[in-house]
Structure 1
Amino acid sequence: MPKRKCDRPATRGKKGPARRTQSTTSASFAITPPFTASNFWANESATSSRSTSLQINDCLPQICCRVWWALIILVAFFMSSSLIRKSYFKWQSSPIIVTFATRETPIWEIPFPAITICPEVNAHPKVFNYSDVYLKYRMKQKTTEEEDTYFRLYSTICNEHLEFVDQNATKLMTNDEFVMFLGSFADLQMEQCSWLGDSLSCERSFTNILTSEGWCRTFNMLHPDEVYVNAGELSENHTRRAQEWSLEEGYPAGVGLNTYPRRTMLTGAKAGLQLDLFVDDSNLDYLCSEISGFKVTLHHPAEIPDMDTHFRIPMDEAAVVAIKPSMIKTSEEIRSYSIYDRLCYLPGERQLSNYKIYTQQNCMVECLANYTLHVCGCAGFYMISQEDVTHMCGAGSRKCLEEARVSFLENDLEDFILGRSMGEKIQDPRECFCLPSCTSISFDAEVSQSQWDWRKTFHYKEHDESFNITFERYTLTNLSLPQLLLSGTTFRD
């Protein structure tokens, strides 16, 4: 038998008698070699290709096999470690995953949004005309002390004409000036209101609310005593309170349609709110506001309206506002996570100073007021309680108010970009960590508008006895017809 290339030579032993070997023909015995990486590799290779097995056994030493398997184990270890590390950092940065609900939510399970409407005309023309006084200043005509006071007050909300305002003498607004200011705002004029196709009392259904635009009217908002810590005179003309409804639980089963806050079960023009808004031509004040019409914003019934997110309803136009709600719910398992991990507040975890109900919008309003008070030494007349007018900004602080708002929003954006932690933010008393509520509802609006030739309609209906509107009353009037309705009977959370 020829000698194999890699076989070891026969071992030479001492001389002695030859050993006898006995062979049997009835059976053969084989001893299984011990399991090693080399044997395993050789056996596996032998089943696929005899020539490959011979080459590996002949040319690859045993240490090469060990190095090969060590490299494979190291590569697998580093790859698995990398995946584990990536998963850990992903969980650490966003342990809570927001997903779409598997079922659609009917619209009657959530309240109809609160609707806040502000007229573009701020001052009541019979009390004060901003344009007339401004022209007197321009023409260097004499003005009364009352006109000077009103001009300073309305310079806080009208278009910027601050060259005639003493910046140093009007940093703060006195209590008497504040009361005088509130009593001079123009009222929102509404002729007809309907809800779910039925006539509605505009005066009883819309209540006053103080915003950055002055006095506005709001529909379907919670009672001020349920929203504000100190509601003051805001609660005087508000009669309805929440009935069997809460922000976290919603409406219980078995509650009828006639509840509060209001809700609807259908969609379309007859399943929402319809208004007739009008403005007299004599009320227009183009130096105070160059745009005529109405500002409208949608918000949760428990939230303070943010008029910076408004949309406009022009005069002499009909507008259809399709409202699309969106809601975020949380599972019970989220309660075991800390606030730092879930990044939202459960009921009772965050208390505000000025508002009884925590929402992200209410928190932002309060924190902006605190930040403005820290930077400017005063806050806007709409930011703080009506009982505390000692730190209310006047016209001389308007520039500081605007800069403080921009700085506040920039700080929030910087915190988001830099990923500043909650603990780092709380150390700064000027900042708030206004996380959303774990259960929250928001509303988006799609507005479509068209020309409304209401004068022709009123002219033909003037002799209709069932039409109780006199056309002569509106000869110098501009009307608007907004319809606000939900865009569908269901939506996805």
Structure 2
Amino acid sequence: MHQKRNLSVSGSISHVNYFRDYYKKDFQYISPDMLRANGKLNHHHGYVGEKVKCGTVVNMWLKEVMAGVKQFFYGGTLHGVKYIFEPTFSHKERATWIAIVVISIAFCAANIIKLFSKWTSTPFVNVIDSLPTPIWAVPFPTVVLCPHLHVKLSYANVLKLGRQEEFFASLICPRMLHKNKTLSERLNFSQIDQLQKFILDATPSCSDLVKSCNWPAKHDTRWVTTDCCKKYFMPIFTDYGLCYAFNSLPLNGMTNDTLSWQRSFNRHANPGSLQWGLDVGYPKVFPPDPSMQPLRVMVSGEDYGLGVELYLNISEHQHACDGNSLGFTVLIRSPTNHVYTSTVLRLPMDRMTTIEVSPITYKTDSALRSLAPDQRQCFFQNERKLEYYEFYTSSNCKHDIFVRESKKLCDCTLYNWPRKNASEPVCSTTKDFECIDFVKGKVEEQQIYAYYAECEEGKGSGEPASCHPSCNDVIYDSQVYYSDLIKEPGDPEPVWGQPKKGELTQINVHFYEDMFLGQHRHAQYDDYYFAGAIGGLLSLFLGFSIISVAELVYFIVLRPVHRVLKETYWRYYLK
């Protein structure tokens, strides 16, 4: 019975003109009629109800997969591949097409490897923002005022101090080198308290310096002579001694662990929470709260900036402490950055100093969070926490390492560096300062090594000392203009006193324009672009497309599985 059916089917197929001798011999699996015939033959091959062995199923599946692979290459959409299997071509023609296909695959693979290498080496690009940013979206800069008067003559004559107080004065007086005034033994706890008291009493207070101010955040252009220091300025330690900062964050942007030390020079220091952040910005509410920290302005211009009238009592000046310089040192910084820097502006006396500020923002797409920090070359705020600073920035990171390494290697820190306790050891001896110099050199060297280790030519594993920039940050560029302050006869005296010539100066800090263009860091190749680029190369060189994927899945997976299941069902279940 089976033999007759086989003969009848074979006989019907042999009369179809579609098949030629060479085609039936080599490619009978391609003909739809032959495939249907083979299916009918396979359905009746074996006995009904016969138990199907696992090895038989695997062999059937492998046979169907191989047949599907051959049919995919011959009848699929890939360019040139079918000519390799064309039975009418000679061996030379097939060899020619094999060479063409291999060369095409090689060029395609080389371009894909080059594209992937570029994607891994430079996964992001920095571009200028397409839309301008209003100035009310960024904080007003922190303005730090440091007088060139570190020890008042009325408090102490630096030429007539004892050994210990002379060392105290040498720490804050630029003309006195502290390395020549070091102590033989490190300061104890009570002496550290005496040092702090000496600095607070010897340095002019905020009210001694700031006589009037104007902050028109509430559209009030009146100059006030009271509460300037209470409302707007707070004491802060810098490399220039004790200074006073406008628009500084709670605890000067440091962590709550430094509260004890902060209260040793600012009794009003208290931790506070912020609604603003580098990664999130200000809350999107209207109208904006003018008292929200850090402070900001709505419009640019001199009338809407910070105006301060400063006084410096020249009778308190000591050449042995401050040299010939009279005036103020001004630091324009982001509220999140520390103030231990030598990048400053000089504010002379009897001048009106105008500082025009232009913010520059750096933003990073959240899509880059999936990359490691050493790949995107920046840190988001939640990715790296500092021990002494609340906000992560590159400068904060470096100074945080300075402080930690000095405590670790020298067992002391400089008097003006942040401490977790006011009684922590302060460097006092020659050996201490030599150790600090060694630590500074070591940390700077680590930063250089970390930079070269992670550069494009040789990226390595992240160095602990590596301080990449913050992914979202704001910095300030400034231009300074000076004009003379001239007092004409008959001009009224200030309500707060009668300053002499050379004792008065004014400063105005404001934004230059209402809008600015920041910089944006985004992925050079997102997932869609990368997939499109690879797909374009495959299509250009091989004609590979989504249809090719569908064909491959159909011939390699779906059809073999379907036929094996169908054959198993026919053998075992049908009766």
TM over 0.5: yes
Matched residue SS, 1:309: coil
Could you tell me how far apart the structure 2 residues matched to 1:81 and 1:289 are?
69
Q: 1:266 Cα shift? A: 1.6
Question: Which residue of 211, 217, 237 maps to 1:191?
Answer: 211
Alignment of 1:12-411 (within 5 A): 70=99, 83-130=111-158, 132-133=159-160, 147-157=162-172, 158-161=174-177, 164-166=180-182, 168-169=184-185, 174-183=191-200, 184-188=202-206, 189-196=209-216, 197-200=221-224, 201-204=227-230, 205-224=232-251, 227-229=254-256, 230-232=258-260, 233=263, 236-237=267-268, 244-247=275-278, 248-256=280-288, 258-260=290-292, 261-290=294-323, 291-385=325-419, 387-394=421-428, 396=430, 397-411=432-446
RMSD value, Cα? 3.5
Matched residue SS, 1:305: coil
Aligned residue identity for 1:198: R
Aligned residue identity for 2:169: Y
Aligned position for 2:549: none
Question: Which residue of 450, 474, 479 maps to 1:415?
Answer: 450
Query: 1:61-116, CA deviations, whole angstroms, 9 ceiling, x for partnerless residues?
Result: x979978994x877766665554444333332331222211100010111111111
Q: 1:419 Cα shift? A: 2.9
Structure number with the bigger relative contact order (C-alpha 8 A, sep ≥ 6) is 2
Query: Would the alpha carbon gap of residues 199 and 239 (structure 1) be closer, same or farther in structure 2, given more than 3 Å must change?
Result: farther
Query: 1:430-487, CA deviations, whole angstroms, 9 ceiling, x for partnerless residues?
Result: x3x323222211111111223x234x24x43237xxx5254xx312642221110111
Could you tell me how far apart the structure 2 residues matched to 1:88 and 1:224 are?
46
Aligned residue identity for 2:129: A
Q: In terms of mean alpha carbon deviation, does 74-83 or 264-273 score higher?
A: 74-83
Residue 478 (1) aligns with residue 496 (2): no
Query: Would the alpha carbon gap of residues 79 and 310 (structure 1) be closer, same or farther in structure 2, given more than 3 Å must change?
Result: farther
Aligned residue identity for 1:276: E
Query: Would the alpha carbon gap of residues 371 and 163 (structure 1) be closer, same or farther in structure 2, given more than 3 Å must change?
Result: closer
Could you tell me how far apart the structure 1 residues matched to 2:305 and 2:448 are?
37
User: 2:350 touches 2:502 (CA, 8 Å); kept in 1?
Assistant: no
User: 1:209 touches 1:218 (CA, 8 Å); kept in 2?
Assistant: yes
Considering fraction of residues, name the structure with more helix. 2
Question: Which residue of 425, 446, 457 maps to 2:463?
Answer: 425
Could you tell me how far apart the structure 2 residues matched to 1:80 and 1:245 are?
49
Q: 1:274 Cα shift? A: 1.0
User: 1:244 touches 1:252 (CA, 8 Å); kept in 2?
Assistant: no
Matched residue SS, 1:92: helix
Could you tell me how far apart the structure 1 residues matched to 2:266 and 2:179 are?
38
Could you tell me how far apart the structure 1 residues matched to 2:341 and 2:379 are?
25
Question: Which residue of 489, 495, 502 maps to 1:468?
Answer: 495
Identity of aligned residues (%): 21
Aligned position for 2:527: none
Question: Which runs of no fewer than 5 residues in structure 1 stay unpaired?
Answer: 1-36, 41-61, 134-145
Q: TM-score, normalised by structure 2?
A: 0.63
User: 2:255 touches 2:387 (CA, 8 Å); kept in 1?
Assistant: no
Could you tell me how far apart the structure 1 residues matched to 2:321 and 2:439 are?
23
Could you tell me how far apart the structure 2 residues matched to 1:103 and 1:480 are?
39
Q: 1:218 Cα shift? A: 0.6
User: 2:453 touches 2:460 (CA, 8 Å); kept in 1?
Assistant: no
Matched residue SS, 1:156: helix
User: 1:319 touches 1:483 (CA, 8 Å); kept in 2?
Assistant: yes
Query: Would the alpha carbon gap of residues 106 and 424 (structure 1) be closer, same or farther in structure 2, given more than 3 Å must change?
Result: closer
